[in-house]
A = this chain, B = another copy of it.
Amino acid sequence: MSQDTRGLDITRITGSRASRERDVVVRESPLTIFLNDDPLVTLLCSPKDVEYLAAGFLFSEGIIKEKADIDRLFGDAREGAVWVQTRGKRRSQKDIISRRFITAGCGKGLSFVDSAKYSKKLKMTHGPKLSSGVIASLMKDFQQMSHTYRSTGGVHSAALADTGGIAVFNEDIGRHNAIDKVLGESLLKGIRTDAMILLTSGRISSDILVKAARARIPFVVSRSAPTDLSVKLSKDLGITIVGFARGSRMNVYSNSRRIALGP
């Protein structure tokens, strides 16, 4: 039993038969991020790698930009809390809340999206070429790494990879959290993301694309679907979206110049 899952007794029904059985479900816990001693947000998440989640959340929200912005970071999954002290100018909690909530709410980063659409300087023209064979191979590895999903069917996975393989991998009950965990781990470990490929098990909505843009990631790959807004944004931002990546099949929605056919 991993720390991500929990056993419990259920009634399993198959047609006209019912039996009492032991089953495994995914764990879900509240996690409060305290920023400079004030509670910033409470997320519902898988209670694992909570420091990565907190660092990635602050990065995705634009509250920190690099590891050097963090003075101290301490997390306790049992307590359901992560405490972060930042360096430099300390914005008040109220400023951050107003900015984030009013402009973006749970659809995080809309203000960023709006400015991004009209800002040429954010456009990514860099990024390696990537072959369809490498994408297929990475997605195969990605699926195999998702142990929790295979045991409970209840979590999303995210990873950062390069052509050599998967570098960072994590899972969470929330698809945003899973991505924040891999971004947070990269940030804390000093792993550069600007030539990486973001793999996700979830749909590619615009807020996922905003996370990739902040980390200067040129590729977002999913076995699921993108939205029209994320495709539009990806063209503005110079990010390549690959969706429905299943086996040797995949759809390239934008910036296909970066994708080469072949192994």
Bound together, the chains give a CA A23 to CA B16 distance in angstroms of 42
**How many A residues have CB within 8 A of the partner chain?**
66
Query: How many copies of this chain?
Result: 2
Question: In chain B, what residue has the closest Cβ to A260?
Answer: B18
Query: Are B262 and A16 in contact, CB atoms less than 8 angstroms apart?
Result: yes
Query: Is A66 close to B, CB under 8 A?
Result: no
Query: CA of A120 to CA of B251 in the docked complex: distance in angstroms?
Result: 52
Residue A110 at the chain B interface, CB threshold 8 Å? yes
A107 B12 Cβ-Cβ under 8 A: no
Contact of A25 among B23, B105, B154, B228 (CB under 8 A): B228
Query: Which of A203, A250, A252 gathers most chain B CB within 10 Å?
Result: A203
Q: How far is the CB of A84 from chain B (nearest CB, A)?
A: 15
CB distance from A248 to the nearest CB of B (A): 4
Q: What does the 1/0 interface line of A3-34 toward B look like (CB < 8 Å)?
A: 00110101111111110000101111110000
A interface residues with partner B (beta carbon < 8 Å): 5-6, 8, 10-18, 23, 25-30, 39, 41-45, 97-98, 101-108, 110, 132, 152-154, 173-174, 176, 203, 205-207, 224-231, 244, 248-253, 256, 259, 261-262
